[in-house]
A and B are shown apart, each in its own frame.
Chain A
Amino acid sequence: MTDEPLLRVRGLSKHFPVRQGLRATGLVRAVDGLDFDVRPGETLGLVGESGCGKTTTGRMLVRLLEPTSGSIEFDGRDITHAGRRELRPLRQELQIIFQDPYASLNPRHTVGRIVAMPLQVNGIKPPGGIKARVQELLELVGLNPEHYNRYPHEFSGGQRQRIGIARALALRPKLIVADEPVSALDVSIQAQVVNLLRDLQRELGLAFVFIAHDLAVVRHFCQRVAVMYLGRIVEIGDRADIYERPQHPYTRALLSAIPDVTQLGPAGRIRLTGDVPTPLDPPSGCRFRTRCWKAQDICATEEPALVPRDGGRQATACHFPEGEAVSTSPEPAGAGLVADAAVVAAEPAGRGVQANVEEVSS
């Protein structure tokens, strides 16, 4: 494993023009200046609520969307604006798994054809033939290879998601972008798929960008976590940092809002008021300030930079990040009940994380 990142993202932005008739009347800043790295074999979780730009980011990484600005470097090559032909060799190393197991499989194709598609499109003839390779892949994701000739509608949601995973693995990628791969599945099936992805990640040494809104799932899968809000990363760090020592108020609120089976009854929680503002007209300064209980004047005027703290492992974009001592921070009454188990729970830090972080703040 080298120290070179497999994926290096700098200043990545995607702005969608809003049109009324022929006139552009506005700009949706879906993603607005992201910096992050993913090392070979590393799993990065991209977490946030709807509208935070995590899905747009995922689509840009596999170049289904054209970035407005910024750069994406994969394996040392700049692929930000590479054309289809230039991308071709890279496509094989960079794949995507989709959220909706129903929409992501062509209903008119057999499972065999679906999984073989990436091979055929790229004109790859694996030794032993395509069929053998496809059956090997089906077996790898825990499906019966005999089901080669069946159609997607004959499978359950969980099995369909496995088919989608097999398709993504067909080209032996180095990095997989998984866009909410389990959120459309039944609870008991989610765990199956998370375990499968984890096994595959370990066995094949895959790097993952795992996009999810569910922090609990991300905790079980990712070594590093980036929390997004309105098109920006507000906090990034190793798993232990994010879950045990969250410094950004939004991360804390997000953690505290998750209903946890182990806690009965309404627990002391941080309650954010209102909804996420529209990315058409994001708040000035810190984008989270409209829902933040710590917001001061400076938050409205100055955008906080993603600053590394704690010796570079964890970076937080906040003017008033939480220190180690939680209770000293100036909080209004309601949010004072922060003694959330999530913050307290102890865990050996930094396990399984091979990376030293060198987050670049723009």
Chain B
Amino acid sequence: MSLSPVEGVALAEIESDPDASTPAAKGVVGRSPGQLAWLRLRRDRTAVVSGVLLVFFLLLGLAAPLIEMVYGIGPREQFQNLLDGFGMPLGYAGGVTGEHWFGLEPGLGRDIFIRLIYGLRTSLFIAFAAALITATIGVVLGALAGYLGGWLDAVINWITDLTLAMPFLIIALALTPTITLRFYGERGQVSSAFGVGVLIAVFAIFGWTSTARLVRGQVIALREREFVEAARASGAGLGHMLFRQLLPNIWAPILVSFSLAVPQFITSEAALSFIGVGLSDETPSFGRMIYRSLDFLQTDPAYVFFPGIMIFALVFAFNLFGDALRDALDPKSSR
């Protein structure tokens, strides 16, 4: 109730026609709502900092092979000679040296830095792919359900409820090994691409519901707006209605939900890998690293520290950016 109706009245009185009094001040080309949001985003310091951080992470992930070349160490190389008799890395802080920036894994003696870079690559790839697929499924189903209504809406709602009712973890636990078994048999060497694919598929099956609900609600709210009716009165077909009239108006919430889904998938991937359903140890990933590191919490805290801080920074930056994006796209929601 902080925004009283009073304030609204006052503001409504203020905002009037910006154009009549200053025809010459602006160029002929107007600023689109998107451009205005971009301006607001650039003015927001949190957005800029978290955005720069995200771009940095993305570049790191993309350039992983390049970094490997420069760094000179691969993710699967083992440096047993730098471990002591118990398999613990020699030196301080888990074997941090000029050669191995973040030290070495106890046991196998792999380089933590380059495994983190590749882990970042895996995590980002899985998260982005899953977010893209879920967003696409969600937008298509939500828009159809919202715009067409009727039995289609009922069916899609029913499927949504069904999906939400399925226990994600249990099914993921049950499904992943079964699928793997089905494709590779008892002893087959599971390729890392397959593991990644299964993870993305599991996320896609479960993750689209929130986007679908969001889009459905937005479309229903817009469906009765007069500009939509104007298009209908001109004889526009389904494609035009959905893609030309409706979707451009709900990009903002979709974008926000996308940017908040990515960090959620990053943590989910880590969690699944942690409980052992996700990726095999072959594929470098945050979840596997943290899982392995927990055994050495007492003896080699640096091993927990680096992946932990990395995943924290990544998710934090994503969430901050998502919130900033929401504020920029819809300034009214910020208070």
A residues with a Cβ closer than 8 A to B are: 59, 62-64, 84, 87-88, 91-92, 95-96, 98-100, 103-110, 114, 117-118, 121-122, 146-147, 149-151, 153-157, 159, 164, 167, 171
> A75 to chain B: closest CB distance in Å?
16
Partner-contacting stretch, out of B11-19, B117-125, B309-317:
B11-19
Chain B: which residue is nearest A156 at the CB level?
B17
Contacting pair B30 A110 (CB below 8 A): yes
B226 x A104 contact (CB < 8 A): yes
Contact partners of A118 in chain B: CB under 8 A: 234-235
**What's the Cα separation between A99 and B237 when bound, in Å?**
23
Which B residues touch A107, using CB under 8 A?
33, 249
B17 with A108: CB separation less than 8 A? no
Which one of B233, B244, B245, B248 contacts A91 once the chains associate, using CB atoms below 8 Å? B233
CB contact under 8 A between A147 and B28, given known A98-B229, A100-B226, A104-B226: yes
CB-CB under 8 A from A88, the residues of chain B are: 235
B17 and A149 within 8 A (CB): no
* B166 contacts the other chain (CB 8 A): no
Interface pair B28/A149, CB less than 8 Å apart: yes
Size bracket, chain B contacts? 20 to 34
Contact of B29 among A62, A100, A108, A150 (CB under 8 A): A150
Please measure, in the bound complex, the distance between the C-alpha atom of A118 and the C-alpha atom of B232, giving whole angstroms: 9
Known: A154-B18, A156-B17. Contact between A98 and B236, CB under 8 A?
no
Q: Quick one: CB contact mask for B223-263 with A, threshold 8 Å, 1 for yes?
A: 00111011111111100100011001101000000000000
Can you list 16 residue pairs at the A/B interface with Cβ under 8 Å?
Answer: A91-B233, A91-B234, A91-B235, A98-B226, A104-B230, A106-B245, A108-B34, A109-B248, A117-B234, A118-B235, A146-B28, A151-B30, A154-B26, A156-B16, A156-B17, A156-B20
CA distance A107 to B31 in the complex (A): 12
Contacts of B31 in A (CB 8 A): 151, 154
Q: A106-B248, A156-B19 are in contact. Are A149 and B29 (CB under 8 A)?
A: yes
Q: Which residues of A contact B227 (CB under 8 A)?
A: 103-106, 114
Taking CB as reference atom, which chain A residue is nearest B28? A146
Q: Please indicate the chain A residues that have their CB under 8 angstroms from the CB of B229 in the complex.
A: 59, 64, 96, 98
Q: Does B32 contact A (CB under 8 A)?
A: yes
Q: With the chains together, A92 CA to B230 CA distance in Å?
A: 12
Nearest-neighbour CB distance to chain A for B65, whole angstroms, equals: 40
B244 CB, min distance to chain A CBs, angstroms = 8
Q: Which of A114, A151, A171 contacts B33 (CB 8 A)?
A: A151
- Of B16, B28, B236, B249, which one neighbours A108 at CB under 8 angstroms? B249
Smallest CB–CB gap between A206 and chain B, Å?
Answer: 16
Which A residues lie within 8 Å of B20 (CB)? 156
Of chain B, the residue at the smallest CB distance from A114 is B227
**Which one, A96, A117, A156, contacts B236 given CB within 8 A?**
A117
Measured CA separation A162–B229 after assembly (Å): 17
Please report the C-alpha to C-alpha distance between residue A170 and residue B146 in the assembled complex, in whole angstroms: 29
Which residues of B have CB within 8 Å of A96? 229-230, 233
Whether B30 pairs with A159 at a CB distance below 8 angstroms is: no
Cα distance, A62 to B232, chains bound together (Å): 9
Closest CB pairs A-B (n = 3): A156-B17, A150-B30, A104-B226
For the complex, give the distance between the alpha carbons of A103 and B16 in Å.
16
On chain A, the residues within 8 Å of B28 by CB distance are 146-147, 149-150
List B residues at the A interface (Cβ < 8 Å).
16-20, 26, 28-34, 225-227, 229-237, 240, 244-245, 248-249, 251
- CB-CB under 8 A from B26, the residues of chain A are 154
Cβ-defined partner of B235 (8 Å) among A84, A105, A150, A157: A84
Complex: A154 Cα to B30 Cα, angstroms = 8
Q: Is the CB of B33 within 8 A of A153?
A: yes
CA distance A114 to B20 in the complex (A): 21
Q: Are A121 and B16 neighbours in the complex by a CB distance under 8 Å?
A: no
Residues of A within 8 A of B237 (CB): 84, 121
Closest to A99 in B: B226
CB distance from B118 to the nearest CB of A (A): 40
CA distance A311 to B235 in the complex (A): 41
- Among B29, B31, B237, B248, the one with the most A-chain Cβ atoms within 10 Å of its Cβ is B29
A106-B245, A121-B231, A159-B17 known; 10 new pairs, CB 8 Å cut-off, are A88-B235, A92-B235, A98-B226, A103-B225, A104-B225, A104-B230, A108-B248, A151-B32, A154-B18, A159-B19
Please, which residues of chain B bring their CB within 8 A of the CB of A122?
A: 234-235
Bound Cα distance from A114 to B227, whole angstroms: 9
Neighbouring A residues of B16 by C-beta, 8 Å: 156
Q: How far is the CA of A186 from the CA of B33 in the complex (A)?
A: 25
Complex CA distance for A110 and B29, rounded to whole angstroms: 10
Query: In whole Å, how far is B215's beta carbon from the nearest beta carbon of chain A?
Result: 16
With CB as the reference atom, state the residue of chain A lying closest to B246: A106
Q: Indicate whether A149 sits within 8 Å of B30 (C-beta atoms), given known contacts A103-B225, A108-B248.
A: yes
CA distance A121 to B251 in the complex (A): 22
Q: Given A96-B233, A159-B19, are A121 and B226 neighbors across the interface (CB < 8 Å)?
A: no
- In the assembled complex, how far is the CB of residue A52 from the closest CB belonging to chain B, in whole angstroms? 20
B19 near A155: Cβ-Cβ < 8 Å: yes
A95 touches B249 (CB 8 A): no
In the complex, how many angstroms separate the beta carbon of A38 from the nearest chain B beta carbon? 17
User: Could you tell me if B19 and A121 are in contact, using CB atoms closer than 8 angstroms?
Assistant: no
From A144, which residue of chain B is reached at the shortest CB distance? B23
Q: Which residue of A62, A104, A154 contacts B19 across the interface (Cβ within 8 Å)?
A: A154
Q: List the B side residues contacting A164 at CB < 8 Å.
A: 230
A122 to chain B, nearest CB (A): 6
- Output the nearest chain B residue to A109 by Cβ-Cβ distance: B248
Using Cβ atoms and an 8 Å threshold, which residues of chain B touch A62?
233
User: Please, how many angstroms separate the alpha-carbon atoms of A92 and B233 in the complex?
Assistant: 9
Are B234 and A64 neighbours in the complex by a CB distance under 8 Å? no
Closest A residue to B251 by CB, please name it.
A108
**Which residues of A lie under 8 Å from residue B240 when comparing CB positions?**
121
* Contact (Cβ within 8 A) B18 A121: no
Q: Which residues of chain B are near A167, meaning CB under 8 Å?
A: 230
Q: How far is the CA of A62 from the CA of B17 in the complex (A)?
A: 31
Give the chain B neighbours of A99 by CB distance below 8 A: 226
Q: Which residue of A lies closest to B18 (CB)?
A: A154
Bound form: Cα–Cα A122–B32 in Å: 26
Neighbouring B residues of A155 by C-beta, 8 Å: 17, 19
What residue of chain A has the Cβ atom nearest to residue B31's Cβ? A151
CA distance A84 to B33 in the complex (A): 32
Given the known interface contacts A104-B226, A110-B30, A146-B28, the answer about A64 and B233 at a Cβ–Cβ threshold of 8 Å is: yes
